[in-house]
Amino acid sequence: MVSTYLDQLIEPFAECLTVEAARKIAAIKASDALQARVDELADKANQGTLTAEEREEYDRYLAGFHFVTIMQARARRLLRT
């Protein structure tokens, strides 16, 4: 059952998953450079020293990671069936 607006947004993507696509999505990892940048921004956020521009950048990364994480969960669910 679709329970949130985010679920409603993601469901059409999840319905298109093939086993091959699910395997690729489940294996997605951030590059070392991207992970280092996100870690840097997270540290600054925890310290309260992010600039407005950095806050926007960090928020975009978090939104993207959230989407990928949800898609990976859907992909893994497909692979278990």
Per-residue pLDDT at 81 exceeds 90 = no
CB 44 within 8 A of CB 54: yes
Average pLDDT, the chain: 92
Rounded to two decimals, what is the model's pTM?
A: 0.80
- The mean per-residue pLDDT over the stretch 56-81 comes to 93
Reduce the DSSP state of residue 35 to 3 states and report it: helix
What phi, psi does 28 have (nearest 5°)?
-65, 135
pLDDT tens for residues 38-57?
Answer: 999 999 999 999 999 999 99
Residue 29 to residue 9: CA distance in whole angstroms: 22
pLDDT tens for residues 20-35?
Answer: 999 999 999 999 999 9
Q: Between the ranges 6-10, 49-53, 71-75, where is the mean pLDDT highest?
A: 49-53
Domain limits of the chain?
A: 5-76
Burial class (CB in 10 A: 0-12, 13-18, 19+), 74: buried
Percent of the chain whose pLDDT exceeds 70 = 96
